[in-house]
């Protein structure tokens, strides 16, 4: 599958998830299950994490899609990628402290992937240096989990 098709598939999956809130459970990165039978507390709908989640999801999706397009030679260019990364990372800053325990690890992985990728947006770096941090197996799983996460209990 080409990079653009992979990006398109990721976009389609996110859009499908956004339109369907009845999914059983969001995908998760491989982590050991908690030993306690009680579920983690529900995130507060007024927490910075929940208030900014949809903005982060859209920003991360847009950045990753543009990185995939850039890798195929028809992206927006380094300056636009930098701009999107900065906006997405600024959105993530206040979210980190209030990330619910069940998504915090995936959220940190997604944020770090964007940060690492964007730090490589400079002359002399290879396209792979920008692409790999956001399109490797670990980050793909983390982005999927964050994209599918919903703060509102019962989500609709």
The 8-class DSSP code of residue 32 comes to P
Per-residue pLDDT, averaged over 92-98, amounts to 96
- Please report, for the chain, the start and end positions of each structural domain, with discontinuous segments joined by +: 3-18+44-148
pLDDT recorded at residue 5 = 42
Are the CB atoms for 21 and 155 separated by under 8 Å? Answer: yes
The Cα 138–Cα 126 span in angstroms is 21
The Cα 112–Cα 138 span in angstroms is 11
For the cut 90, the answer to whether the pLDDT of residue 89 exceeds it is yes
Q: List pLDDT tens digits, range 98-154.
A: 999 999 999 999 999 999 999 999 998 998 999 999 999 999 999 999 999 999 664
pLDDT recorded at residue 43 = 67
For residue 4, count CB atoms less than 10 angstroms from its CB and return exposed for 0-12, middle for 13-18, buried for 19 or more. Answer: middle
Helix (H) / strand (E) element for 112: namely helix 101-119
DSSP line for 116-154: HHHHT-STT--HHHHHTTTSSHHHHHHHHHHHH---STT
Q: List pLDDT tens digits, range 33-88.
A: 444 434 444 568 889 999 999 999 999 999 999 999 999 989 899 999 999 999 99
Per-residue pLDDT, averaged over 87-92, amounts to 98
């Amino acid at each position: 599958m080409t990079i653009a098709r992979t990006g398109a598939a990721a976009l389609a999956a996110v859009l499908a998830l956004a339109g369907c809130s009845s999914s059983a459970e969001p995908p998760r990165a491989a982590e050991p299950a908690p030993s306690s039978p009680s579920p983690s507390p529900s995130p507060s709908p007024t927490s910075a994490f929940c208030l900014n989640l949809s903005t982060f999801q859209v920003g991360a999706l847009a950045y990753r899609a543009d990185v995939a397009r850039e890798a195929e030679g028809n992206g927006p260019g380094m300056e636009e990628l930098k701009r999107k990364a900065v906006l997405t990372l600024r959105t993530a800053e206040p979210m980190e402290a209030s990330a619910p325990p069940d998504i915090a690890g995936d959220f940190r992985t997604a944020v770090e992937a964007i940060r690492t990728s964007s730090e490589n947006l400079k002359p002399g770096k290879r396209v792979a240096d920008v692409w790999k941090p956001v399109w490797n197996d670990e980050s793909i799983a983390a982005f999927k989990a964050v994209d599918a996460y919903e703060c509102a209990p019962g989500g609709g």
